[in-house]
């Protein structure tokens, strides 16, 4: 929110709007006007204000109806609403507060009271915005792998289920890559765990560089990385996978003063199938097969026939 907060005055009286505007602009606020409820809602959708001053009695939509409309909109429901009213009944006031209004101001009002109540509403809006930003930051942290900066397993699982369900619903293609850095234990044993962390972070960057807009990469766990490829068939997924494999084999990684050469193996599962978990299992089986077949390779299932995906038999863990 900028220093010059925007206040929307909604009142069918031109005189009331002019008086309120004069006082609020003197107090340093930016003021916009709406002459009725429909106009107010339209302006809020176009450019949400920081506070809304809302008359109760207006032609067309009254103040209660406008308030209900605003509170039903996820983008507008947190904008504080201060009712302007010449009604003296406490029932009318309580009806507005129960509907979600922040405050009310009785006409005629004192200029100082008007500014004070708008200022209080602005403070509430500022705190709400700060809380929303903090919650968004916490949510990002809870979904981010600290070492690599990629999304973590929690986020990947949710995104995979969402995209898999959408692919089944809309009969779209979907592929999944499960990638594993070859002989990663050897890297840790030879160069130390700090070097292993560098390798993981460098591979994460190689992964980002090899993907397209809309692909969803993340760290699945340990040295395993998973990539969700929405609306992508087998050929397109294998092009992406091979680009990542080749860039990894050709990368020059320096960790703890040592040059570390790495390769990556992977499984590319083609979906959608019966469930997101089954798609992960298919990719995991293919990854095992790529490891058993010599590493530094990507294996893929055949394109799905109906709802079935060809899966290779489970092999011993050779990672």
**87-144 residue pLDDT tens:** 666 776 777 778 778 888 888 888 888 888 888 888 888 888 888 888 887 877 778 8
- Residue 257 phi/psi, 5-degree rounding, is 75, 5
The Cα 7–Cα 21 span in angstroms is 9
Give me the pLDDT at residue 277, please: 93
**Average predicted confidence (pLDDT) for the chain:** 86
In angstroms, what CA-CA distances link 89 with 57, 85, 92, 299? 14, 10, 5, 74
Among 223, 224, 242, 256, which one carries the catalytic annotation? Answer: 223
Convert the pLDDT of each residue in 282-296 to its tens digit: 999 999 999 998 999
Residue 270 buriedness (CB in 10 A; 0-12 / 13-18 / 19+): buried
**pTM for this predicted structure:** 0.61
The residues near 306 (Cβ < 8 Å, ≥ 6 apart) are none
Give me the pLDDT at residue 129, please: 84
Tokens of 6: 């925007």
Calculate what percentage of the chain has a pLDDT beyond 90: 41
Convert the pLDDT of each residue in 153-188 to its tens digit: 999 999 999 999 999 999 999 999 999 999 999 998
Give the 3-state secondary structure of residue 88: coil
Convert the pLDDT of each residue in 192-235 to its tens digit: 889 899 999 999 999 999 998 899 999 998 999 999 999 999 99
Give me the pLDDT at residue 98, please: 80
Give me the pLDDT at residue 89, please: 67
Question: How would residue 252 be classed by pLDDT, with cut points 50, 70 and 90?
Answer: confident
Does residue 317 register a pLDDT over 60?
A: no
Does residue 62 register a pLDDT over 90?
A: no
Does residue 310 register a pLDDT over 60?
A: no
The Cα 267–Cα 287 span in angstroms is 4
Neighbours of 135 (CB within 10 A): 10
- Tell me what the mean pLDDT of segment 32-46 comes to: 90
**What residue spans of the chain are helical by DSSP H?**
14-26, 37-46, 63-71, 90-98, 111-142, 153-170, 184-191, 193-210, 234-249, 276-292
**Which residue, 31, 45, 35, is CA-closest to 77?**
45
Does residue 22 register a pLDDT over 70?
A: yes
Give me the pLDDT at residue 306, please: 47
**Which residue, 307, 287, 156, is CA-closest to 219?**
156
159 is catalytic: no
Pick the CATH number of 153-300 from 3.20.190.10, 3.30.70.270, 3.30.1390.10, 3.40.640.10: 3.30.70.270
Of 28-32, 51-55, 103-107, 196-200, the poorest mean pLDDT is in 103-107
Does residue 313 register a pLDDT over 50?
A: no
Tokens of 214: 């809309």
In angstroms, what CA-CA distances link 41 with 28, 32, 79, 249, 299? 24, 13, 12, 57, 55
The Cα 73–Cα 87 span in angstroms is 27
Domain 153-300 in the same topology as domain 6-142: no
Contact (Cβ atoms closer than 8 angstroms) between residue 39 and residue 54: no
User: What is the domain partition of the chain in residue ranges?
Assistant: 6-142, 153-300
| Domain 6-142 homologous superfamily, CATH | Response regulator (3.40.50.2300)
């Amino acid at each position: 929110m900028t220093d010059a907060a925007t206040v929307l005055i909604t009142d069918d009286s031109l005189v009331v709007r002019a008086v309120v505007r004069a006082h609020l602009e003197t107090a340093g606020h930016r003021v916009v006007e709406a002459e009725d409820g429909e106009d107010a809602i339209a302006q809020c959708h176009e450019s949400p204000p920081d506070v809304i001053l809302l008359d109760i009695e207006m032609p067309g939509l009254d103040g209660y109806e406008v308030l209900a409309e605003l509170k039903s909109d996820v983008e507008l429901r947190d904008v504080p609403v201060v009712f302007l009213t010449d009604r003296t009944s406490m029932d009318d006031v309580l009806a507005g507060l129960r509907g979600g209004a922040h405050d009310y101001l009785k006409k005629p009002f004192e200029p100082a009271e008007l500014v004070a109540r708008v200022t209080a509403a602005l403070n509430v809006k500022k705190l709400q915005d700060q809380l929303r930003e903090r919650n968004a930051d916490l949510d990002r942290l809870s979904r981010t792998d600290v070492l690599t900066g990629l999304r973590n397993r929690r986020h990947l699982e949710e995104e995979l289920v969402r995209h898999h369900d959408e692919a089944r619903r809309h009969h779209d293609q979907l592929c999944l890559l499960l990638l594993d850095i070859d002989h990663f234990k050897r890297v840790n044993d030879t160069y130390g765990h700090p070097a292993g962390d560098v390798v993981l972070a460098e591979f994460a960057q190689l992964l980002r560089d090899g993907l397209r807009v809309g692909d969803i990469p993340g760290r699945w766990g340990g040295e395993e990385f998973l990539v969700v490829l929405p609306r992508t068939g087998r050929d397109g997924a294998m092009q992406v996978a091979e680009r990542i494999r080749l860039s990894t084999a050709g990368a020059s990684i320096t960790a703890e003063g040592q040059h570390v050469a790495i390769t990556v193996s992977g499984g590319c599962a083609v979906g959608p199938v019966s469930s997101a978990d089954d798609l992960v299992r298919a990719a995991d089986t293919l990854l095992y097969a790529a490891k058993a077949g010599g590493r530094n390779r990507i294996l893929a299932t055949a394109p799905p026939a109906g709802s079935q995906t060809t899966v290779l038999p489970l092999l011993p863990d050779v990672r």
